[in-house]
Amino acid sequence: MDTEAQPTQRDRSSHPGTPGPEGRSRFALLSRLADWLPGGRITLTLFTGLAFLLLLNAFVMQPFEIPSGSMERGLRIGDRVLVNKLAYRFGAQPRRGDVIVFDGTGYFGDADYIKRVVGVGGDHVVCCDKKGRIEVNGRPVDETAFLYPGDSASSVSFDVVVPPGRLFVLGDHRSDSSDSRDHLGSPGGGMIPVGDVIGRADWVMWPYRHWTHLTRPSAYARVPAPPAGGAHG
């Protein structure tokens, strides 16, 4: 008995390399669209890339230009930072030390701002102790790693408790920053609603010589939770 397998004619329509009716339909639609557009496939490719960038900018990452010197020395005027818009979208909350971009409408002014989170909901923030340091929940914070050289922690004294769902924010260049200290008597007491945070600044992308990853300072890791609990730090 001959056991050699005999070649058979395969059904051409089921060949894995042959697109099915649905695939051919999509390809034909794209081809017709490319033929309709001025510039053909090049224009279609450009439009597709632009749509991808717009979606990326709207939901994932957004570039932000530093408009002032309030965050020097780390962030200089004209630097472009990349803001992670997903950082706080899945249950995570801003933490002490994060550099955030937020909508200041109704609190700071009708614009977006970039500042560092110093206190979160429930925190007791005081300035200053006998050594000129900010205290959060009774623990002094050593800000020398990021504070602008020659600046004190604050030339304005304050003693505040951050309401739940709010943030107390300061610029790193304290003598050149309008921040929560300057709006303590304003609506909201200078505290930023967490819901108005656009995202966390994670990278300095431009100019190239300033390229760096922005990390949370270790000084804030030693700050205890407020006595009432429930704050994220």
Q: Residues 115, 154, 177, 180: which is the catalytic one?
A: 115
User: Of 205, 160, 210, which is closest to residue 185 (Cα–Cα)?
Assistant: 160
| Residue whose entry in the numeric block shows the structure tokens 């909508």 | 103
Q: Residues 14, 25, 70, 131: which is the catalytic one?
A: 70
Residue 131 annotated to the active site: no
User: Of 128, 126, 111, which is closest to residue 159 (Cα–Cα)?
Assistant: 126
Reading the block at residue 142, the tokens are 């050593």
Residue 115 annotated to the active site: yes
- Which pairing describes strands 99-103 and 197-206: parallel, antiparallel, or unpaired? antiparallel
- The span from the first CA to the last CA of the chain, in angstroms, equals 79
User: Of 63, 168, 64, 175, which is closest to residue 107 (Cα–Cα)?
Assistant: 168
Active site residues: 70, 115
